[in-house]
């Protein structure tokens, strides 16, 4: 909760039109830009991640931000802060992982400094050339809500890792080596002819739906039965919470005009954008009942669960 | 020394043509980009800096990097990691300082996370439109070496602050509230018609000269008597070391064709680029003798002094 309070302070102090989406769209330069940090013992623990995996994931989450904007990921800069006793091999492996994740996106700079813990801050730059750039403000009643893949797997993998378990491998991999939806988002951004909302599910499915609902002042109405998830997460009693509130799956969530769907593939329609009658928020339709959540309720759930 | 060793590992792992200058020049996008981090108790102490000053300086050093590339500073993203018990007023004051330093350069994004210590990582973006971009590889024999202002003041100010002294104010200010050379670098980058080398003196005058000598394979020959410095630093016995090796003055150091000088003002010529006969490096001419320093010797001096 405190993070959102601080973001409000920052937004108020800066009075900038750019703060809001994960990426800022700098129209005059034809780019989108995003910067994200990973802090040891806050966002990850070295007990369950190799330096290669850490470099991989740090880059991938930033590429995912660019994908969510609709831009083409082009360049990265990496700042790395390391404790004094860090082995040289850590740096080599970290950058090997970073390069593997970058997969053609060029790492062009950054710096390396000392510190008490491992701190990584990465900036990603995307090109808006021949792309229509998304905004979470762009959801409109009548649009279909689509996702690129399963939710809950990464959070399930993290639970296993924290419990010192290393199977099922699909769940572990979902957490340690997620994939940004480069092709999926490209299809949308190059085919779109009208405004659309798009986010990645870095902070979970419900958070993304809630953010879009709030920014666009709409109701995001989804069917629970349609949300794709990996059946292996059912080993957890609270698997429904993992699907809703588990983060770091880095799937794409978008609100799309129905006419555009025929140009896409690999998506799952999970619901539809509706007008917000009274409150904006997320409506979940179950087999026999439905429930409505305000962004505040979703924030509280997120805060209590994770 | 270790930092340079690690940069070699990174350069080798990435095999990227971009690593080398403080900014990467992304020609296809018409931008230069730089990312720099400041870590509490490594780069600064909160005992002698207010949050406003910290926000100010963190932004200013990144704007300075863009200026050194010759580009026009346009946008910034800020990642801030803060201990849990940080007051909200810290965040407000930090961003007030950041905005003051930005002075029209727009802060468009970033993130805020938890951590053990204050960690700041800022990315700056500059536009290369109507500018000739510099590179430290561009120094050529015959060019004049110019600087935009005095060296040593910031390091002298830091020494005073660490000694809990708060005067002379000019030295304290030089350390806490440095100014990026926005107009000076603009003049050079808009007037230049041929290649030139340019850096800021973030790591000290000798380091900048050494980096240019090494990248361009030249001898940087300077006259000690011509280097501008604030007379107040003479309160320190080792004031000559402060002038040479003290960092964070954020002055501009450039190698310029003589013909271009008439279009500039406010510069001081401190020497000339010469062919490297045997070794590249920095030659310092004193009244009655001269001394030659290889980059390795300069690194050692830097390491031993600071």
Summarised one tens digit per residue, pLDDT across range A124-150 is: 999 999 999 999 999 999 999 999 999
Quick one: B59 and B152 in the same domain?
A: no
Domain end (from A127, A155, A170): A127
My answer on whether A258 and A158 are in the same domain is: yes
Grouping H, G, I as helix, E, B as strand and the rest as coil, residue B166 is: coil
CA angle B255, B259, B264 (to 5 degrees): 70
Note whether B239 and B283 are same-domain residues.
yes
Kindly state whether residue B157 falls inside one of the protein's structural domains: yes
Asked whether residue A174 falls in the same domain as residue A247, the answer is yes
Reported as a single tens digit per residue, the pLDDT across A290-299 is 999 999 999 8
- Judged by CB atoms closer than 8 Å, whether chains meet at A14 and B116 is answered as no
pLDDT confidence bin for A306, thresholds 50/70/90: low
CATH number for position B70 = 3.30.1330.10
Give the integer Cα–Cα distance in Å for B200 and A254.
Answer: 44
**Closest residue, chain A, to B21 (C-alpha):** A109
Could A77 and B42 be called an inter-chain contact, meaning their C-beta atoms sit closer than 8 Å?
no
Cβ contacts of B203 on chain A, cutoff 8 Å: none
Averaged pLDDT for residues A27-41: 95
Inter-axis angle of helices A169-176 and A51-69, nearest 10: 70
Last residue of a domain, one of A70, A101, A127: A127
Please report the DSSP string for B64-119 in residue order.
HHHHHHTPEEEEEEEEEEE-TT--HHHHHHHHHHHHHHHTTSEEEEEEEEE-SS-E
**Domain check: are A83 and A142 in the same one?**
no
Q: Where are the beta strands (DSSP E) in B195-243?
A: 197-200, 218-223
Q: How far is CA B179 from CA B49, B166, B175, B241, in A?
A: 16, 19, 10, 22
Question: Within an 8 Å CB–CB cutoff, is residue A115 touching chain B?
Answer: yes
Same domain, B140 and B32: no
Any A CB within 8 A of B13 CB: yes
Which pLDDT value is given to residue B23?
93
Residues of B in contact with A10 (CB under 8 A): 91, 95, 112
Cα A67 → chain centroid: 10
Q: Which of 26-55 (B) contact A at CB < 8 A?
A: 26, 28-31, 33-37, 39, 41-43
pLDDT tier at A107, thresholds 50, 70, 90: very high
Cα–Cα distance, A252 to A80 (Å, whole number): 27
Number of domains in chain A: 2
Residue B200 inside a domain? The answer is yes
In this structure, what CATH number is given to the domain that contains residue B164? 3.90.650.10
Residues B120 and B141 in one domain: no
Helix (H) or strand (E) holding A198: strand A197-200
Tell whether B240 is covered by a domain. Answer: yes
**Which of B3, B33, B116 lies nearest to residue A112, judging by beta carbons?**
B3
Q: What does pLDDT average to in each consecutive run of 10 residues of chain B (306 residues)?
A: 80 84 93 95 94 97 97 97 93 97 95 92 98 97 98 97 95 97 98 97 96 97 98 96 96 97 96 94 96 93 72
Residue B29 lies in a domain: yes
Nearest to A116 among B5, B9, B117 (CB): B117
Of A3, A18, A112, the CB nearest to B109: A18
Q: Quick one: A147 and A275 in the same domain?
A: yes
Show the tokens assigned to B260.
């271009």
- Final residue of a domain: which of A94, A127, A160? A127
Q: For residue A94, give the chain B residue with the closest CA.
A: B10
Q: Are residues B218 and B75 in the same domain?
A: no
- Residue B171 resides in a domain: yes
Confirm if A246 and A156 have CB atoms less than 8 A apart.
Answer: yes
Domain housing B152? 136-305
Residue A178, φ and ψ in degrees, nearest 5: -65, 160
Token pair listed for A90:
């850590």
Assess whether A208 and A271 both reside in one domain. yes
pLDDT of residue B241: 95
Which chain A residues in 160-199 lie under 8 Å from chain B, judged by CB atoms?
none
Residues of A in contact with B19 (CB under 8 A): 108-109
Residue B4 lies in a domain: no
Compute the nearest-CA separation of B9 from chain A (Å): 6
Name the residue among B5, B36, B112 with its Cβ closest to that of A6.
Answer: B112
- Are residue B169 and residue B100 in the same domain, yes or no? no
Q: Give me the interface pTM, i.e. the ipTM.
A: 0.92
Residue B9 lies in a domain: no
Of B263, B293, B15, nearest to B132 by C-alpha is: B263
- Same domain for A168 and A286, yes or no, is yes
């Amino acid at each position: 909760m405190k993070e959102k309070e601080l973001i409000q302070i920052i937004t108020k102090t800066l009075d900038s039109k750019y703060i809001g989406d994960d990426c800022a769209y700098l129209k005059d330069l034809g780019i989108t830009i995003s910067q994200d940090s990973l802090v040891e013992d806050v966002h990850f623990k070295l007990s369950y991640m190799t330096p290669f995996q850490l470099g991989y994931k740090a880059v991938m989450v930033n590429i995912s931000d660019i994908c969510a904007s609709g831009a083409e990921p082009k360049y990265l800069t990496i700042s790395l802060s390391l404790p004094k006793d860090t082995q040289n091999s850590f740096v080599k492996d970290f950058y090997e992982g970073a390069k593997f994740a970058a997969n053609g996106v060029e790492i062009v700079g950054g710096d390396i400094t000392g510190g008490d813990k491992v701190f990584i801050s990465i900036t990603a730059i995307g090109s808006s050339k021949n792309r229509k750039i998304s905004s979470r403000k762009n959801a409109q009643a009548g649009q279909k809500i689509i996702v690129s893949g399963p939710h809950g797997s990464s959070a399930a993998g993290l639970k296993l890792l924290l419990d010192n378990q290393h199977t099922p491998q699909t769940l572990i991999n979902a957490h340690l080596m997620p994939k940004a939806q480069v092709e999926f988002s490209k299809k949308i951004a190059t085919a779109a002819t009208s405004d659309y909302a798009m986010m990645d599910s870095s902070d979970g499915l419900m958070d993304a739906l809630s953010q879009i609902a709030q920014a666009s002042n709409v109701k995001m109405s989804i069917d629970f039965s349609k949300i794709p998830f990996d059946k292996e997460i059912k080993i957890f009693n609270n698997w429904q919470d993992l699907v809703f509130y588990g983060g770091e799956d880095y799937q794409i969530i978008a609100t799309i005009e129905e006419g555009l769907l025929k140009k896409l593939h690999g998506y799952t329609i999970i619901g539809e954008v509706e007008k917000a009658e009274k409150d904006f928020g997320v409506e979940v339709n179950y087999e026999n009942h439905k429930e409505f959540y305000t962004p505040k309720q979703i924030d509280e759930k997120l805060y209590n669960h994770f």
